[in-house]
Amino acid sequence: MRAFESAPWLSAMARVFDDAGAPLFLVGGGVRNPLMGLPISDADVCGPLLPQDVCALCEGTAVEARVRAAGFGTVELWVDGHMAEYTAWREESYAGGHRPDSVTFTTDIRVDARRRDFSVNALYRPLHDGWMGDVIDPTGGLRHLRLGVLHTTTRDPDDILSHDGQRILRAARFQSEMDLRPTDAMFASLKRNAPLICEVAMEQLRPEVEKIVMADLRYPALRRRDPATRSGLLTLHLIGAWDDLFDGVSYDDEAALALARIKGDLPRRMALLMHRASPEKVQQAMQHMKFSTKLAAQAAEYVRVMHRLDAPIDELADPDALTFAASAFLALGDTVNADKAQKALAALEGKPLSLKELAISGSDLKPLFEQQGRPLREMGDVLDRLWRMALCGEVENTRETLLKKIEREG
């Protein structure tokens, strides 16, 4: 019943299928997460009906059906602004690459279960109007949840992992988010098949990397045996997938462990993870993983400040980056550099942090420059120099004081 408590619209959807005498099943995270005491992040449903049959069934009801990928049996089911993705039961075959070259629909739930990636993703519950049936577990997912392990839906993990490099990262992500350790056989298969990630577009891998890096913050109520993000990153390192993803930035286990001791958004966490690399290398690695130029530049700036705490204060006029540096060094156990960052941050208090905060502008300088016969093109350099002086405390940041400084220097 917990799925209906958090998503009552599922009951309205089930009612439409019940009225038509058609089976509908909740599958994957919608079944697994409540069993683990975790919230449902999305609702995936499935059944033996083909897309055209689902659309016909929903016509004229409270459920709007929109075919997304007929060849894969996928239909979006919309109710009151909420969406569940319906997938017809199927089996897949691969001739190579990470996408199936053949899809065959089936009416056997066991066949559908075996084509899914992990046993904990192949848990089903029948949905009805106001109630759910018992969990159906064709591949041993309930036992694996009790043991806290991650395994594929097949006895031999190669049957699943050798077809799709993206599943390598999904395994590391499930380990991070769900605290599920790969079985020995699963780990060996991950190591054998890790080179397959090179066959997958980085745009598809990037979301998995992001979820792993953010996993420490994903389910704070979950009692864990291992630090979340570090567990997945260490697996990527041990199976040989790290270098292909991080473009030559070395794995740093100390930094991976430190991530559990800070909060923050993706650029901050990536900066801590790669803080030993140069800012340029950090930006290059993030762009290699197809993160946006903006996110890559932010992470690189955070690393630059971490590396430059002994620089003059006018090179550290970024309270946000200094605040991050202080928390990052504390997480790393480096109290000396954390103290440097805090002192630099204190030195910025009350100072102009940019030219916009300088007490004068070009409109103030123009009459004075014209009176002195100075070229107006020099105003930008003069304002920059005044800003740096005010930032360093060499001159008070008031209009009167700054103008007098220029008049005296002529």
Least confident of 2-6, 72-76, 267-271: 2-6
Selected residue with higher pLDDT from 177 and 366: 177
Note the pLDDT tens digit of each residue in 326-347: 999 999 999 999 999 999 888 8
347 vs 328: CA distance, rounded Å: 19
Residues 50-71 as b/e (b if ≥16 CB within 10 A, e otherwise) read bbebbbebbeebebebeeeeee
pLDDT in tens, 90-107: 997 655 555 666 789 999
Report CA torsion sign: 321, 322, 328, 331: negative
pLDDT band at 5 (very low <50, low <70, confident <90, very high): low
What's the mean per-residue pLDDT of the chain?
A: 91
Chain centre to alpha carbon of residue 152: 23
Percent of the chain with pLDDT over 70: 96
User: What does the pLDDT look like over 243-278, one tens digit per residue?
Assistant: 999 999 999 999 999 999 998 899 999 999 999 999
Q: Are 2 and 34 in contact (CB under 8 A)?
A: yes
**Three-state DSSP class for residue 11:** helix
User: What residues does 88 pair with on adjacent strands?
Assistant: 47
CA distance 154 to 102: 19
Cα 27 from Cα 40, distance rounded (Å) = 11
Side-chain-side CA neighbours of residue 140 (13 Å): 11
